[in-house]
Amino acid sequence: MGDYAVLGWKVNCYSQGEIILEEYANVAQFVHLVTGTHDIEDQSFQLYTKPIRICRHAWIASNAFVGPGVTVGEGAVLGACGVTFKDLEPWSVYVGNPIQKIRARTLPPNSTQQAQRN
């Protein structure tokens, strides 16, 4: 966990693989961060894991699900009860199951992308 990162109440970190919360990342209550899954085509139902990365200033809202191998880009938002098995673009807002990108998020003045734009 990075400095000032938040891991909310009753978050399920099913951490068979690495889970990284960068600085200022915010994971709300009842979220599921799941790094493990199974190969359904393998007769032995082999377990495999992929890391999850929640980047700076990203917010995972209440009761959302983040699957194996997902990177939640800097400043991205996954809305309440949202489900993702795909990477989320930086400074974008996603909702639903399956997720849909609904809009861009305003960049705070101290963000990495804001500095790159100047």
pLDDT tens digits for range 66-108: 999 999 999 999 999 999 999 999 999 999 999 999 999 987 6
pTM listed for this prediction: 0.88
Whether pLDDT at 5 is above 60: yes
Question: How far does CA 101 lie from the centroid of its chain?
Answer: 14
- CATH class of the 6-117 domain in this structure: mainly beta
Higher-pLDDT residue of 107, 56: 56
Report the DSSP beta bridge partners of residue 109: none
Burial 66-82 (b: 16+ CB within 10 A, else e): bbbbbbbbbbbbbbeeb
The residue among 11, 83, 68, 6 whose CA lies nearest residue 37 is 68
Burial 15-28 (b: 16+ CB within 10 A, else e): eebebebbebbbbb
Over residues 14-21, mean pLDDT: 95
Whether pLDDT at 16 is above 70: yes
